Structures are given as C-alpha cells and as structure tokens.
Structure 1
Amino acid sequence: MDKNQYSIIELPKICDPRGNLTVAESMKQVPFEVRRVYWTYDVPSGESRGGHAHKQCLEIIIAISGSFTVTLDNGKEKQAFHLNHPWQGLLVETGVWRTLDDFSSGAVCLVLASDPYDESDYIYEYDDFLKYKG
C-alpha cells in the first residue's frame, strides 16, 4: 500500500512511576483539528468493526487498552497493522477501506476524527468502494 494512505504516529509517552501519560493535541501530534472522538469496547470475540471508508474524514485509530488488528485496503492492496500501544496511532487517509478484527479481551479502540459524523461521508458497501476508487 502507498505510505501516503496511512502512517503510524508516535504520541508522547510521559513515563511516571505513578502511571504513564500520553497526550494528543490538534495540529501538533494530530495533523488535523479533532472534531469528533469516539471509542469502541466490549467487542465480542470473533466480531469485526469498521467495514467502511470515508470520502473526506481523516482518522487516527489508537488501541488505548488491549490490542486489535486494523486492515487497510486501497482497492488494490491490503495491509494489516497490529495495534497494542496506547502511545501509537494509525493515521488513515480518505478513500481507504478499514476493518478492525482480533480484539483482545478488554480492548478499547479510540478514534480521533477530523469531521463530525456525516452519514454521506461513509462508503459502507465494498463494491461501492471499488467503484468509488475507479
């Protein structure tokens, strides 16, 4: 896959004996203004999340607890990323299909998004995604 369609972002990890802290600020570590934050959790074993692409919205996907696999698909190639560090985020560009699988017990997936929810920005059917990619 083209590296312009994704990147791993290293977020600051501030180590402290009382517990570590990681920060993500708009237009600093996050290369866009964060306009929406959401998280998924209690994903049953064997279930998947995602299964869509965005036309305009950028996202950073972070495993803030546990682990899961994000598979990115540009319509020609796929690449899988195992996320398991809360100080790393996967920046997903527009026009990239994503699925999230293999959630560990207790996994929490945090997503920082560049846009508020807009159903018209989503491509939910894979065949429609392939047509969109042309």
Structure 2
Amino acid sequence: MDKKYRVIEFKEYGDERGNLVVAEGDGIDIPFSIKRAFYIYGSDSEVIRGMHANRLTKFVLINVAGSSDVLVDDGTHKEIIKLDKPRMALFLDTMVWKEMYNFSPDSVLMCLASEHYMESEYIRDYDEFLKEVKG
C-alpha cells in the first residue's frame, strides 16, 4: 500500500530581489485540482487544529510563514512532520487523521483542498476514524 501522505518540495527561484515559490495544481505540483484554499494564523503554540480525517477531500499544507508541526495518522502509522520552509508542503490523501500544532508566533499555514467544504465528509471522532479506516 502506498503512503497516504508525503512531503512535497516546490521549485524555488531567487535572486537579489528575494524568492519566488511556484505551486501549480492539476497534477503539476499539487496532485489535484484546487477547489478551496484557506489559511490558519494567530494560533498559539499549544493550540491543536484539525483533529479530523476526510472521506473525500485531499489536502496540501504549506507553512508560507513560520512553522508548525503536523501529526499524520493513517490508522496504522503515526508520524510528526515539521513544516518550516515555504517551499515545503505536506500532501494528505483521504482518510488521514491530521492534527496541526506547535505554531510559531509568525505561522501562516496555507491549506489547499481538492473539494469544496462538506461537513458530512469529515470524521471528527478518532475512534470512528479507526473503525472506518480499518474497514
């Protein structure tokens, strides 16, 4: 079985004027068409965001400023990934439990989603997630 998540490194272009990071959808850099974008900022380091899995939506998370940690759990393995470079992203497939925390004071965590928001496809109870993912 392929991993349900992976780190993506975007191309970065820079010179004396600064840096430019390019992330294109439709399978070029982002492995889906982007239907929704949102970002999280102003969260204290002890705040935990996310705490859910999605049946239909895939995500790419990018800390465009600052840093945060992401706990990813596919129902079998757990891993903590530190997002601390604007050219670095985390792809999350469907049915991956995610928890974002340890936000730096300047953290801006951009989230790109493959689907429009649908509350019904969110799993917000961890035991329910484990039951569904293990089928």
RMSD (Å), alpha carbons: 1.1
- The CA distance in 1 between the partners of 2:118 and 2:15, in whole Å, is 39
- Residue 8 of structure 1 pairs with residue 7 of structure 2: yes
SS in structure 2 opposite 1:128?
Answer: helix
Matching residue of 1:31: 31
- The CA distance in 2 between the partners of 1:3 and 1:86, in whole Å, is 26
For residue 95 of structure 1, what is the amino acid of its counterpart?
Answer: M
For residue 4 of structure 2, what is the amino acid of its counterpart?
Answer: Q
TM-score by length of 1: 0.94
Q: Is the CA contact (8 Å cut-off) linking 2:5 and 2:92 kept in structure 1?
A: yes
How big is each residue's C-alpha offset from its partner over 1:70-95, in whole Å with a ceiling of 9 and x where there is no partner?
A: 01011222001011010011000111
Matching residue of 2:122: 122
Bigger shift: 21-30 or 50-59? Answer: 21-30
Give the C-alpha shift of residue 3 in structure 1: 5.0
Q: Which runs of 5+ in 2 are unaligned?
A: none
Matching residue of 2:85: 85
How big is each residue's C-alpha offset from its partner over 1:89-123, in whole Å with a ceiling of 9 and x where there is no partner?
A: 10001111000111111101001110011111110
User: Where do 4+ consecutive residues of structure 1 move more than 2 Å?
Assistant: none
- The CA distance in 2 between the partners of 1:75 and 1:54, in whole Å, is 13
Alignment of 1:1-134 (within 5 A): 4-27=3-26, 28-134=28-134
- The CA distance in 2 between the partners of 1:45 and 1:85, in whole Å, is 17
For residue 121 of structure 1, what is the amino acid of its counterpart?
Answer: E
Give the C-alpha shift of residue 44 in structure 1: 1.8
Q: Is the CA contact (8 Å cut-off) linking 2:45 and 2:101 kept in structure 1?
A: no
Q: What fraction of aligned residue pairs are identical, expressed as a percent?
A: 37
Q: Which runs of 5+ in 1 are unaligned?
A: none
